Amino acid sequence: MFKRLLPILFFLFFHSFLLSQEEHLSSEERAMQVLDAFMSSFNSRDMEAWSETLNYPHVRFAGGGDVSVWESSEDFASRDVFNSLVSIGWDRSAWVSRDVILASANKVHISTEFQRFDKDNESIGKYRSLYIVTNHDGSWGIQARSSLAP
């Protein structure tokens, strides 16, 4: 009897393992999609679309040690962040690297590096950061981010 059950048990274990791996892959893929949307809406300077790439409360640890918390997308979108960036010559940003360092079915930690460019496509800064992307009730968004950027 045990010999007959062994293949079935092996199949169930292996199948469960594969499903678990698919969950991690899909959570990683979803997290990367969120980062793509985050960067795209940031570069288009669309505060509403940018705020929709986040989960709330949203926490940002800035390079100077400042910690900001926004409770809602309305709070986040009400800020004017682009004038200060433009005043230092910023035109757009781009991901340099994105490496998943921890993943589960509902949370992904991503070590990133992004670069800021001026209107002539010259680099004006490169920064390492950590993004934590979460799934809240089926909505994937960036819950927290920490960078060395000002």
Tens digit of pLDDT for each residue in 30-89?
999 999 999 999 999 999 999 999 999 999 999 888 999 999 999 999 998 999 999 999
If one compares 18 and 48, the residue with the highest pLDDT of the two is 48
Task: Tell me the residue type at 40.
Answer: S
CA separation for the pair 69, 56 (Å, rounded): 9
Name the percent of the chain lying above pLDDT 70: 83
Question: Is 24 within 8 Å of 120 (Cβ atoms)?
Answer: no
Most distant CA pair in the chain, distance: 76
What residues pair up with 141 in beta bridges, in sequence order?
134
Is a pLDDT exceeding 70 seen at residue 14?
A: no
Domain locations in the chain? Answer: 2-147
CA separation for the pair 33, 98 (Å, rounded): 12
Question: Is 126 within 8 Å of 113 (Cβ atoms)?
Answer: yes
If one compares 149 and 116, the residue with the highest pLDDT of the two is 116
Domain boundaries 2-147, CATH class: alpha beta
pLDDT tens per residue across span 97-109: 999 999 999 999 9
